[in-house]
Amino acid sequence: MKAMLPFLVCAAFVGQAAAEIRTDRKSLLDSDPEVVYLNEVVDPPIKLRVIKEAPVYSDKAGNIRLGFLKADQTVTLEGMTAKVYKVRGEGTRNGLAGWVAPWAFSHPQEDFVAKLKQLYERQIAVNEVISREGIAIGMTPAEVGKSRGKPTKTSVRRTAEGEQGSWEYIDYEDVKNYATRIDPATGQVFRQLVSITREEKGKTVVEFKDGLVTALEESENRQGGDVRIIVPPLVFRW
């Protein structure tokens, strides 16, 4: 449940406003694990210049051609895999959105391709951690929230050096409790669920500095912690 997969945040794109991770709850894991949807990751969106007319396909594998992307225009990069880009722009006949080979584009930043590759590889790693409800060094608060949900407790400390904080998650274990009953009509012995005890199993403390996870502390309760009793739904016998 809790991952310890350290990775570094890739450098922001120079020449654009520092790409901020969006805090909305839209899934990073859409449908295809090989695809990163950048409109869910960076803001403002990444723009590319079309330097050569290129075919546009309906899927990343290039099975169905939708048309041709017109040259000499700026398009929005919506998603990507390691080999192909998903863009939205003007076709030779009308508007198009689909998958296009990278050779059709250019960007004014000299090391743009390398930075974009770093962004893609990082986001694939983030998506894998989130799919396991884990947390890793280098994640943002938004990504931790997508993985583990709302923390049980939060704290923030602001100093001249920057902002630090921590999130605390409590892990619980549910144990079903049964009682032996005898059916007065038949004399048959059966077990009946009478309650569920929810006991604190462990705790995870996530430390942040300047918007990134810098440390994780995990503890396990071996002596039993606070117990909550959850009454099961009523079962009526007619």
Residues of the domain holding 207:
150-230
Residues 115, 169: Cα–Cα separation, whole Å: 33
Flag whether 4 is in a domain. Answer: no
Question: pLDDT for 118-130, tens place per residue?
Answer: 999 999 999 999 9
Domain-terminating residue out of 109, 137, 165: 137
Instruction: Kindly tell me if the per-residue pLDDT of 88 is higher than 70.
Output: yes
**Same domain as 129, residue 219:** no
* Number of compact structural domains in the chain: 2
Flag whether 13 is in a domain. Answer: no
**Same domain as 87, residue 164:** no
Question: pLDDT for 141-189, tens place per residue?
Answer: 999 999 999 999 999 998 888 889 999 999 888 888 899 999 888 889 8
Rounded to the nearest angstrom, the gap between the alpha carbon of residue 144 and the centroid of all alpha carbons in its chain is 8
Question: pLDDT for 18-70, tens place per residue?
Answer: 333 333 334 444 568 899 998 878 888 999 999 999 999 999 999 999 999 99
Average pLDDT over residues 180-207: 89
Q: What is the 3-state secondary structure (H, E, C) of 126-168?
A: HHHHHHCCCCCCCCCHHHHHHHHCCCCEEEEEEECCEEEEEEE
The pTM for the full model equals: 0.68
**Same domain as 168, residue 108:** no
